[in-house]
Amino acid sequence: MKIKFLDGSVKEYPGPVSPLQIAAEISPSLAKRSVYAKVNGADYDLNRPIVADATVELITMDKPEALTVLRHSCSHLMASAIKKLYPDAQFGVGPAIEEGFYYDVNPGEGVRFNEEDLPRIEEEMRKIVSADLKFERIEVSKKEALDLFRNDHYKVELINDLPEGEAITAYRHGDFIDLCRGPHVPSTKMLKNFKLLNVSGAYWRGDSRNEQLQRIYGTCFFEKEDLDRHLEILKERAERDHRKIGRELGLFMISEYGPGFPFWLPKGMALKQALMDYWYKVHEREGYRFIQTPIMLSKELWEISGHWRNYREGMYISEIDEREFAIKPMNCPGGMLVYKSEIHSYRELPLRVGELGLVHRHEASGALSGLFRVRSFTQDDAHIFMEPKQIVSEVGRLIKLFDEVYSTFNLSYTIDLSTRPEEKYIGSIEIWDIAEKTLAEACQSVGREFRINPGDGAFYGPKLDFKIRDSMNRIWQCGTIQLDMMLPERFDLFYINEKGEKARPVMLHRAIFGSLERFIGILIEHYGGAFPTWLAPVQAILIPVSIEHHREYVEELSELFKKNNIRVESDFREEKLSYKIREAQIQKIPYQLVIGGKEMEGRVVTYRRHRSQESVTIPVDEFIAMITEEIKTMGK
């Protein structure tokens, strides 16, 4: 039997051989560092025998995919510990995720997990780690699988969804067995550096119509140092919680009279307006026209768009003059009516139409979370109407715009191509296939890599989802470019082509921020509330040494700053100077200016930047020129 390696070398073996045996023969250290293997491109457990000629790649601890397998194995470890402690527990799914893993669990009648239960589960996990139990792969038929998991109705439901005749695998360690495709680490001994983090609710299979399970999150690393470092990052993230900072900086509030409906306070409104001004500026440069569409439209419109059938449960419905209306959950149908209000020529295309539109969605109360999940938010929408031949170039142009905007905030990103959903989609599969291929070509045209995200497209078309990474190494799905060949058909949109004939346009839906509310929440945590000067709600604060003697000069400076479009405040509170300076630092104001006799006599200012101990004295005009240039160039 011949085993070929990625470097092209080949070794012969007399019979079946496992990847672990191959690694050990090459070197003991390689065997120790190996986590699993790829055999002819397929994932393989280290102890699983290879029975025919194959190409083998050993996946070692230093590779990102090895961490995914480690964490998925740790979810099994946690599930086995829960089963020991709560024998009636039943289990949903337990995947590895970006920074750890989770498992959805029904702990049994009358049992509810809370944070205080996690140490007890961790202790049981440590016992199983110490036992050094091997992960054993088992292949079973569908009938055998149904019998094996007959006492867990969640697993039974998953098994029943599998095609007849498909090989089903389960994994056993000790007396615990779980439905799983694998692969896994060789034994529980490798899982010693773990930590359970929190408990939340999660609907079975992500559907709010199903029962709610309890989701326990955890993380796991190969090295203790990496785990400790990650836990420190999590601690810092908690300090950066946008709800906490938003309250401390007076940016926004949520009232019990409107759960999920954020109130923007004056400073938060200044921040939001700065973001909107930037959005309008770059879009005007890119040739967009701006519109505003009604917040409430009739049921008939939502039936044409398909939202009434596919999204009705997420809409707020009302009645006016004995007709049903809905508050818009999306801006798209209004944009269709705007396009349809006049006849368009091919010479106008691509036609780029932007709208900062307020939308409302009926989110479950348990899902609401600060600005991250709200019921009312502003989408930075745009609809681009074009000829089919313009799709690749227009999407390529959009990707470059996304790149510019995200780099302004020092946010890196990756792209997912989300394809046709299994259910609730409109249009033919042939059109979907063409649309998906076109989006892939657009990414390739500008040299951007992408990952396929199967089944996660919108009901009307495939999309590119932009996943941004913030300063705390977290991933957020924000921007999207959605290719829509369906709504122009449903709304009977057309343009006059070169031959003077009616032709159907193709349309792109796109948003860069996604929602201003959520994006601001991300920025609050990304910057820890210390916004760059151009974005800061208050860009400079004037602090008089003596209110009695220096107030007039401070007021004069304040008026001068405002005339130069600098967002400025003056602190005339009857407090000690040191207290005011400290408060300005806590409020993370970019520039703190202390104004005393020297400044007043010399017509100068003394400033200190946030997070700096250095005080600098310069003429007023020089300071205004400096901060104005910083705002104009966004600190670049």
Rounded to a whole number of angstroms, the distance between the first and last alpha carbons of the chain is 60
Residues marked active site are found at 332, 361, 379, 381, 383, 463, 509
Distances (CA, A) of 459 to 48, 359, 428, 617: 41, 18, 12, 60
DSSP state of 534: T
| Block residue for tokens 């050993």 | 58
Q: Would you state the structure tokens that stand for residue 66, as one six-digit string?
A: 């090895």
And the tokens for 219?
């993380």
| Interatomic CA distance for residues 389 and 476, integer angstroms | 32
Q: Give yes or no for a contact between 481 and 463, defined as CB atoms under 8 angstroms apart.
A: yes
Place of tokens 């012969």: 12
CA 459 to chain centroid, in Å, comes to: 20
Residue with tokens 């709600």: 537
Whether 100 contacts 71, CB under 8 Å: yes
390 secondary structure, DSSP code? G
Report angle CA 458, 460, 464 to the nearest 5 degrees. Answer: 45
Instruction: Using the structure block, give the residue that is written with the tokens 């879009």.
Output: 283
Q: In this structure, what DSSP letter does residue 48 have?
A: S
* In the block, residue with structure tokens 């590895």: 96
What strands lie across the sheet with 296-298, from one edge to the other? Answer: 296-298, 323-327, 316-320
How much is the CA Rg of the chain, to the nearest whole Å?
Answer: 29
* Dihedral sign computed on CA atoms, order 100, 104, 108, 109: positive
CA distance 323 to 321: 5
Compute the Cα dihedral for 346, 350, 356, 361 and give only its sign: positive
The number of beta carbons lying within 10 Å of the beta carbon of residue 611 is 9
For the record, the structure tokens of 27 come out as 């070197």
**Tokens 């190969």 -> residue:** 222
